[in-house]
Amino acid sequence: MTAAAIDAPFSPGLAGVVAAETAISLVDGANGVLLYRGYPIVEVVRTGTYGAVLDLLLTGEWHAHATLEPAPVPADVLTALRLLPPGTHPMDALRTAVSAWGAMHRIAWPPTAEQARELIAFAPSALAAFARLRQGLEPVSPQPGLDLASAFLQQLHDAAPDPATARALEAYLMACAEHGLNASTFAARVIVATRSDLASTIVGAIGALKGPLHGGAPAEVLGQLDEIGSVDRAEAWARDRLGRRELIMGFGHRVYRAYDPRAAALRVVAEHLPQRPPWLDLAIGAEEVILRVFAEVKPNRVIKTNVEFYAAAVLQGVGLTPDLFPAVFGIARMAGWSAHAIEQAAVDKIIRPEARYVGPAARHLPGA
């Protein structure tokens, strides 16, 4: 096919282009609705477990009290993590762990729910192990009987967390497990559509999520709250930021034109943390002020709170350092990535869009 024969309209970033049909989730941005296999996200977070969400996304079946038993880090994966410099970004460490796991297992295509469960069971342990290794501490094995969120915090801090703190992290994992055809999920579907294996698919998705336009916003929210300092300074800060045409992270979304339902679910969780950090009151007060300023300064745009704003509150509230936020987001999203990989593999058709050539016309090399 020649360039002149490609008459399809060009959509930068594929905006508005339907590239897949899915039964996994519905993201209704206009009405602020997110459904996992038909179930509202607020109900899922309030009543379920991450294990239940994983089963739901992978198989379509809902078992409210399902758990996923955490697995220790395989020896070969731990060896790879020990070789990383202490300054390695946690996202790179997570990507390395999954890649090493895939090389060790040599898993076959097509991806399966069993492969996904095995991968997701060890991934939090690998991240916790790296977080300890970079501090000069030895990794800790998961305690029997803990769920995935509890075991991650236990391995990170070498102490079992209180149930409310673990539940807050589990709520975050559930709320961020799946969100339609976002950049990393699309990357996952492109990779698995070539009949590549699940480990390669997840590695590619992690790479996409590492970009600050996709997975880095919660950590930036904390920096903003530090700059604001107190609720009475929030209005001046927001007006100055908007006056300089700078982004305010945690507000606005590519899809949502209403309040992000994941943010609503996480705000409830954050408000009930057993050791509510002092800046959570700042976050709640600043949110109300910033939304009012947006409404005054940008009256023609609907800008509401998105999930990153309260994700920051929850993740810091359970004792994570900001540089771990994107990697924990990646662990949460592995459920959705895996479900999409299985769904795309069933289609078994390579994803191969066209590109419109805009370079020079045909010409000859000098002297040819």
Positions annotated as catalytic residues are 253, 308
Tokens for 147?
């769920």
Question: What is the rounded CA–CA span in Å between residue 227 and residue 208?
Answer: 29
Question: What is the rounded CA–CA span in Å between residue 52 and residue 74?
Answer: 25
Q: What is the DSSP letter of 60?
A: S
Question: What is the rounded CA–CA span in Å between residue 276 and residue 266?
Answer: 14
**Taking a C-beta distance cutoff of 8 angstroms, is the pair 84, 98 a contact?**
no
| Alpha-carbon distances of 277 from 37, 105, 283, 319, 326, rounded to whole Å | 34, 42, 10, 10, 21
Handedness of CA 210, 215, 221, 224 (dihedral sign): positive
Tokens for 15?
């905006």
CA 171 to chain centre: 13
The helix or strand, by DSSP H or E, that contains position 33, with its residue range, turns out to be strand 33-36
Strand partners, 322: none
Question: What is the rounded CA–CA span in Å between residue 62 and residue 52?
Answer: 6
Q: C-alpha angle with apex 107: 106 to 109, nearest 5 degrees?
A: 130
- Tell me which residue of 50, 183, 196 sits closest to 110, measured CA to CA: 196
